[in-house]
Amino acid sequence: MKKPVFYHAGCSVCVSAEHDIINLIGAENVDLVHLGNDRNKISEAENAGVKSVPALVTPNGNVLHINYGAFMEEVKK
């Protein structure tokens, strides 16, 4: 089964949400993508429907925008 993907940009809101996701479902059950460190994944996130981070993309393609850290346009800068 495909894992959900958690996209974030490393801000305090994103890091807090990352810890909550890991505590809820376990690090082994989610792919973590730090878009500040892995900038080549920005287009992947946008193509999946991510409009802001932090966001969790479920295996069936639903995008769950969690709280608010930054719009994708800000992440690209």
Ranges of each domain in the chain: 5-76
- Other CB atoms within a 10 A radius of the CB of residue 44 amount to 15
The model's pTM: 0.89
pLDDT at residue 1 greater than cutoff 70: no
Q: What is the pLDDT of residues 11-50, one digit of tens each?
A: 888 899 999 999 999 999 999 999 999 999 999 999 999 9
Residue 16, φ and ψ in degrees, nearest 5: -60, -45
- Pick among 3.40.30.10, 3.40.50.2300, 3.40.140.10, 3.40.50.720: CATH of 5-76: 3.40.30.10
Q: How far is CA 52 from CA 2, 26, 34, 64, in A?
A: 22, 23, 13, 10
Distance CA 27, CA 18 (A): 9
pLDDT(68) > 70:
yes
Q: Which residue has the higher pLDDT, 11 or 70?
A: 11
